[in-house]
Structure 1
Amino acid sequence: MSTNARLRSTTALGRALKRAVVVLAAVLALGAAQPAGAQSRLKDIVDVEGVRDNVLVGYGLVVGLNGTGDTINNAPFTQQSLYGMLERLGVNIRGTTLTTKNVAAVMVTATLPPFAAQGTRIDVQVGTLGDAKSLQGGILVGTPLLAPDGDVYAVAQGPVAISGFTAQGAAASVTRGVPTAGRIAAGALVERTVDFRMSDMQALHLALHNPDFTTAKRIADAINAAIGMGTAMAMDPSNVTVNVPAGRKADLVGFMRDIEQLKVAPDNPATVVIDEASGVIVMGENVRINTVAIAQGNLTIKITETPQVSQPGPLSGGTTTTVPRTNIQVDDGQGKKLAILPSGVSLQDLVQSLNALGVSPRDMISILQSIKAAGALQAELKVM
């Protein structure tokens, strides 16, 4: 190979190495800029102030029950409601005695979604107030649904669908599910909308589902990087304020679409949640413990009764008797070992060490509580 050829080859190799170094530096910088962990869309971790559901509630009557409704004498509110409904329909029954068991007083609840227009249908839930046995086959009569401000926003009516049932005979009865509560799909008609115009907002306020300083700052940084510096600011762990640019105020929906698709890695504090009733334990990935020694053992006493029959010999004149036989076994857990966990172990190491001891979820709850009491568990312990 000539000298010129060698020089050209060396020059090309140098340029290739420089390009590789630049690419590697860019990859490392990108990895350092993005926080580790699973990333989530903003729409999944924040709510927009003003864009929210509204709770509706109403009181009504379910008719058409097959003898499973309220006992009129035991439920005066059902009797008064029935009188009032019939009088509004032109039927005067004041002073008469009602013995029907085909009517039940119920509470009706629903959730009015944001920006629901007039004429939109929403689902409703129905539950009994009196001593009705079942709502099977019942029909809810027109019931106004009110918001906390006292105004009517929807009217509910329709057949009630239940998931349970009751079968009863002279000596026994069987109940499955909850027959005294039901649901009416698309059972309410929206009559009034909530007075909220998003187009009038000069700034958007994002509320975090799980308040956290780091997550709020990451959200603001992501919005500023995508829209422009100074657009978003983290006000506190729960709220991020987003100023709408002048050029995007005419298309606020498109602006929100661009923001809610941004991805951020939420940062959560180290937490251990324990449900003592069911024995469920949930640990976050940031849970750490200091150096600690753990031993687990239980004293188990097992008593088994195996009575035996003593049969006398033929013509001996004796009687057949039952002789008690008792077998007692004691397990004091001598096979259990003492495990030492070093400082700063991860969630995986903690679980593996506890499993190696052969502890059950119930015992693990006691161990975690003891580690926390010793000051070695660096996490918040929540007991449900």
Structure 2
Amino acid sequence: MKNWRQLLVIMLVSTIPALAHAERIKDITSISGVRSNQLIGYGLVVGLDGTGDKAPFTTQTFRNMMNEFGITLPQGTDPKLKNVAAVSVTAELPPFSKPGQRVDVTVSSLGNAKSLRGGSLLFTPLKGADGGIYAVAQGNLVVGGFGAEGNDGSSITVNVPSVGRIPNGATVEQAVPSSFGRGDSLIFNLDQPDFTTARSMTEKINELLGPGTAEALDATSIRVSAPRDTSQRVAYLSVIENLEIETGTERAKIIINSRTGTIVMGQKVQIEPVAVTHGSLTVTITEDFEVAQPNALAEGETVVVPQTNINIDDGGDSRMFKFGPGVTLDDIVKAVNEIGAAPGDLMAILEAMKQAGALKAELIVI
């Protein structure tokens, strides 16, 4: 790809008007091979105010650390590490991170430490999935929670004092190999697979850069030809990722959270003609205990007999409403508000409508 063509593309992009209800490619895709990497390490936090842990692995780690510094603790002695806690250290290494750059780390207690407030993390190597050391962490913790305990055993805890963070607490030691500069093409992966969006993105790129530049592989991946030179590839992607395309609409979905009662309906939800009746059914079960005594002339023992009462109340306020063809989300919300259905009642109504084939949407219960 020649430089003059790169400049021409940039000039063309700058004159393209913004599309209505369009999204930039950079906001809805990621490039295959360009990703962050998770790092983890094990270390010690010291300097705590008597809130450390008493786990055996903490003592073992402390002994090993002392041996590294040439200090040998007498066998059989208990260091009683009230001010030390064993912790896990995690970090996310962003793509293209280079040695010398710094990243944030999260420090979490592994034992029974009550709080990490005021502690300092000692030198901790951070490893990747391949076992290689990609960063080292060290520094003072920032802990958002705190706790207090009285002599009588009463205590209070705010937030989580056993977890803290160290901003810029890790230094990158080596870069993670990337496939960004390899091959003659790059693959864009849509965050939400959609055939319409994949087609729209392919057509937009080919319209600007020429036929055959982009090729949709499936509903998620679009392969785009790219220059081999890294500097040209960066400028090339800068142009592509700022293109605005029309995205496909999501499938009609209704999401129900059965634990919280939250119900979310998508914009494209529609209902076929159907009649629905709504009623409030209340079942009350009470259990009383009565004492049963035998007759004075008969043999037997005095026993306690449970007496169960069941009351059912339908509320007496049942209503029926009818949905006509082509009902939209606005109509559904309006009807539900008119009958005053609670979330639990609405869940039952939606499930029944789905079973009846009247609900034209995917019903997802989480």
The TM-score, its normalising length taken from structure 2, stands at 0.83
| 1:85 is aligned to 2:85 | no
Check whether the contact 1:231–1:245 (CA below 8 A) recurs between aligned residues. Answer: no
1:114-134 CA distance string (max 9 Å, x none): 011111110001111111111
1:234-256 CA distance string (max 9 Å, x none): 1011111111268x875111111
Q: Which among 354, 358, 366 is matched to residue 340 of structure 2?
A: 358
How far off its partner does 1:273 sit? Answer: 1.2
> Quick one: distance in 2 between partners of 1:37 and 1:278?
36
Check whether the contact 2:279–2:318 (CA below 8 A) recurs between aligned residues. Answer: yes
Check whether the contact 2:214–2:223 (CA below 8 A) recurs between aligned residues. Answer: yes
Check whether the contact 2:135–2:173 (CA below 8 A) recurs between aligned residues. Answer: yes
Check whether the contact 1:289–1:378 (CA below 8 A) recurs between aligned residues. Answer: yes
Deviates more, 1:47-56 or 1:338-347: 338-347
Q: Which among 3, 6, 22 is matched to residue 39 of structure 1?
A: 22
Change (3 A) 1:249 1:137: closer
Matches within 5 A, 1:165-204: 165-171=146-152, 172-196=154-178, 198-204=180-186
Change (3 A) 1:94 1:367: farther
> Quick one: distance in 2 between partners of 1:367 and 1:170?
55
> Quick one: distance in 2 between partners of 1:37 and 1:293?
38
How far off its partner does 1:365 sit? Answer: 2.0
The match for 1:62 is 45
SS in 1 for 2:181: helix
The match for 1:326 is none
How far off its partner does 1:336 sit? Answer: 3.4
> Quick one: distance in 2 between partners of 1:263 and 1:345?
32
The match for 2:114 is 133
1:245-283 CA distance string (max 9 Å, x none): 68x875111111111111223221111111122221112
The match for 2:82 is 101
Which consecutive residues of structure 1, in runs of 5 or more, have no partner in the other structure? 1-33, 304-328
How far off its partner does 1:299 sit? Answer: 3.1
| 1:226 is aligned to 2:208 | yes
Q: Which among 93, 96, 102 is matched to residue 121 of structure 1?
A: 102
The TM-score, its normalising length taken from structure 1, stands at 0.79
| 1:210 is aligned to 2:192 | yes
* Structure with bigger RCO (C-alpha 8 Å, 6+ apart): 2
Matches within 5 A, 1:252-271: 252-267=233-248, 268-271=250-253
1:283-331 CA distance string (max 9 Å, x none): 211111211212221135899xxxxxxxxxxxxxxxxxxxxxxxxx996
1:144-173 CA distance string (max 9 Å, x none): 000001000000111111111111102311
SS in 2 for 1:345: coil
How many matched pairs? Answer: 321
SS in 2 for 1:199: coil
The match for 1:371 is 353
Check whether the contact 1:62–1:104 (CA below 8 A) recurs between aligned residues. Answer: yes
> Quick one: distance in 2 between partners of 1:196 and 1:245?
16
Check whether the contact 2:31–2:188 (CA below 8 A) recurs between aligned residues. Answer: yes
The match for 2:301 is none
Check whether the contact 1:167–1:175 (CA below 8 A) recurs between aligned residues. Answer: yes
Q: Percent identity?
A: 45
> Quick one: distance in 1 between partners of 2:111 and 2:262?
36
Q: Which among 163, 170, 188 is matched to residue 144 of structure 2?
A: 163
SS in 2 for 1:352: helix
> Quick one: distance in 1 between partners of 2:339 and 2:220?
41
Which consecutive residues of structure 2, in runs of 5 or more, have no partner in the other structure? 1-16, 286-310
Check whether the contact 2:125–2:136 (CA below 8 A) recurs between aligned residues. Answer: yes
> Quick one: distance in 2 between partners of 1:67 and 1:299?
56
Q: 1 or 2, which has the higher helix percentage? A: 1
> Quick one: distance in 2 between partners of 1:44 and 1:258?
14
How far off its partner does 1:197 sit? Answer: 5.3
SS in 2 for 1:225: helix
How far off its partner does 1:227 sit? Answer: 1.6
Check whether the contact 1:83–1:94 (CA below 8 A) recurs between aligned residues. Answer: no
RMSD: 2.2
Deviates more, 1:343-352 or 1:194-203: 194-203
SS in 2 for 1:162: coil
